[in-house]
Amino acid sequence: MALENILLEIEKGVATIFINRPEKLNALNKATIQELHETVKSVDENPEIRVIVITGSGTKAFVAGADISEFANFSAEEGSLLASKGQTILFDFIENLKTPVIAAINGFALGGGLELAMACHFRIASENAKMGLPETSLGVIPGYGGTQRLPQLVGKGHAMEMIMTAGMIDAETAKRYGLVNHVVPQEDLHSTYMTIATRIMKNSPVAISKAIEAINANFLTGVNGYAIEINSFGACFATEDFKEGTTAFLEKRKAEFKGN
Ligand code: COA
């Protein structure tokens, strides 16, 4: 698939996916969502890639939301379909990937943009970043998981206030709320995520993917996360990575994980 709205850079096992529509502040139109799905899927399936980073092109925006011009005339049915398809192919898809996904929020992350960042496994932000779910100012609610993931990350009260006011918060406030883990000058965003990715890549990819699954299970209704943890913990004992990790520790050397 030819990529028109996405740039992909691969560096030392880290795939950085840039959403690349800077003239529209990287707003997510249908084509971009499809390209993101294809790109994320292909890098997740590539065993050489140990960490995925999603960011926006340029210095102004991560993603300024879903592309308003595409859905302004939608019916109720078309609106539901837009949300359900988007959630399936992109937002839930990213949350459940086996490869760790970091959002590097380099500017505005609004509406679908903040929802995309929240679907990633964790977030870092540049000092100029501004985040919000402005959907109620357009007469709609967040439809890409925002009403569910925002309260998970910041608590019900902050989520209610952010969604009701449709306002933006700055990066430091987002850090205080627990929405982002780190805030750094924009010019340090790349080196910061590469440093974190390097630390992640020292560890077992199999164990990390099982940890992602178990942590996500905590937020699923009707699923016993403790049972998932027990199963995944046991399954780790049958992996080459576990043998390598424990042997390397006992031999006082660095583990060389192969991811199987
Ligand atoms: N959908 C479609 N186009 C968008 C967009 C979106 N979510 N966000 C920005 N754009 C477009 C603008 O229409 C403009 O295009 P144009 O030059 O062809 O007119 C271009 O991106 C630049 O945006 P502009 O509004 O001129 O930049 P700004 O610096 O004055 O304001 C924002 C920046 C982020 C405050 C403003 O663009 C905005 O409020 N965007 C919409 C945010 C939103 O409601 N997102 C949720 C959607 S569900």
pLDDT in tens, 206-253: 999 999 999 999 999 999 999 999 999 999 999 999 999 999 999 999
Return the bridge partners of 117, or none. none
Measured from the CA of 67, which atom of ligand 1 is nearest?
A: 1
Distance 213 CA to ligand 1 centre (A): 35
- The predicted model scores a pTM of 0.98
Q: Ligand 1, residues 19, 23, 24, 25: which to mutate, most atoms within 8 A of Cβ? A: 25
The pLDDT tens digits for 29-51 are 999 999 999 999 999 999 999 99
Does any ligand 1 atom lie closer than 6 A to the CB of residue 118?
no
Q: Which of 9, 78, 95, 135 is catalytic?
A: 135
CA 122 to chain CA centroid, nearest Å? 6
pLDDT > 80? residue 133: yes
DSSP secondary structure letter of residue 90 = I
Closest CA to 150 of 138, 162, 167: 162
Percentage of the chain surpassing pLDDT 90? Answer: 99
Helix H or strand E encompassing 4: none
Q: How confident is the model at residue 1 (pLDDT cuts 50, 70, 90)?
A: confident
Residue pair 147/114 in contact (Cβ under 8 Å)? The answer is: no
Kindly report the backbone phi and psi dihedral angles of residue 238, in degrees, each rounded to the nearest multiple of 5, phi listed first. -95, 5
Q: How confident is the model at residue 2 (pLDDT cuts 50, 70, 90)?
A: confident
Percentage of the chain surpassing pLDDT 70? Answer: 100
Distance 217 CA to ligand 1 centre (A): 35
Q: Residues 200, 259, 96, 190: is their CA dihedral positive or negative?
A: positive
Q: Whose CA is nearest to atom 37 of ligand 1?
A: 64
Distance 197 CA to ligand 1 centre (A): 31
| Averaged pLDDT of the chain | 97
* CB half-sphere exposure, 163, CA atoms < 13 A: 20
Question: For residue 34, what are its two tokens?
Answer: 């499809």
Helix H or strand E encompassing 123: strand 122-126
Does any ligand 1 atom lie closer than 6 A to the CB of residue 68?
yes
Q: Whose CA is nearest to atom 11 of ligand 1?
A: 24
Q: Whose CA is nearest to atom 43 of ligand 1?
A: 65
Q: Whose CA is nearest to atom 15 of ligand 1?
A: 24
Return the bridge partners of 132, or none. 110, 168
Does any ligand 1 atom lie closer than 6 A to the CB of residue 205?
no
Closest CA to 192 of 107, 130, 126: 126
The sheet carrying 14-19 orders its strands as: 6-11, 14-19, 51-56, 101-105, 122-126, 182-184
